[in-house]
Amino acid sequence: MTTAHEAPPRPRRLDDVPGWFPVLDQVLFDWLLNRQEAAGVRGDLLEVGVYMGKSAIFLGRHLREGERYTVCDLFEGDAPDDANRAESTKSYSALTRQVFETNYLSFHDELPRVVQGPSSLVPGEVERDSCRFVHIDGSHLYEHVYDDIGAARDVLLPDGIVVLDDFRSEHTPGVSVAVWEAVLSRGLRPICLSTQKLYGTWGDPKPVQEELLAMVRGRDDCGLSVQQAAGHRLVRLKSKGMKSPDFPPSRHAAEDPERTVPKLAASTARRPAPPHKPRSRTRSLAVDLMPPLLTRTLRKARAARRPAAR
Within a domain: residue 77?
yes
**What CATH code is carried by the domain that includes residue 217?**
3.40.50.150
CA distance 289 to 210: 107
Question: Whole-angstrom Cα distance, residue 151 to residue 121?
Answer: 10
For residues 245 and 28, is the Cβ–Cβ distance under 8 A?
no
Following CA atoms 297, 303, 304, 308 in sequence, which dihedral angle do they give, to the nearest 10 degrees? -160
pLDDT at residue 310, as a whole number? 40
Residue (of 224, 167, 225, 162) closest to 196 by Cα position: 167
**Tens digits of residue pLDDT in 115-165:** 999 999 999 999 999 999 999 999 999 999 999 999 999 999 999 999 999
Q: Is residue 7 part of a domain?
A: no
The H-assigned helical ranges of 73-195 are 82-91, 97-105, 122-125, 142-155, 173-185
Say which amino acid occupies 162.
V
pLDDT band at 77 (very low <50, low <70, confident <90, very high): low
Residue 111 lies in a domain: yes
Interval 248-298: pLDDT, tens: 999 999 886 653 233 333 333 334 444 444 544 445 444 444 454 444 555
Percent of the chain at pLDDT above 70? 74
Number of domains in the chain: 1
95 within some domain: yes
Q: Are 161 and 172 in contact (CB under 8 A)?
A: no
Mean pLDDT of 222-236: 98
Instruction: Find the domain containing 177 and state its range.
Output: 22-239
Query: According to the model, what pLDDT value does residue 86 have?
Result: 59
Interatomic CA distance for residues 265 and 255, integer angstroms: 29
170 φ/ψ angles, rounded to the nearest 5 degrees: -65, -25
- Residue 12 inside a domain? The answer is no
Q: Would residue 145 count as lying in a domain?
A: yes
User: For all residues of the chain together, what is the average pLDDT?
Assistant: 84
Residue 306 falls inside a structural domain: no
Give the separation between CA 225 and CA 235, rounded to whole angstroms.
6
Q: Give the global pTM.
A: 0.77
Condensed to tens digits (0 to 9), the pLDDT of residues 179-215 reads 999 999 999 999 999 999 999 999 999 999 999 999 9
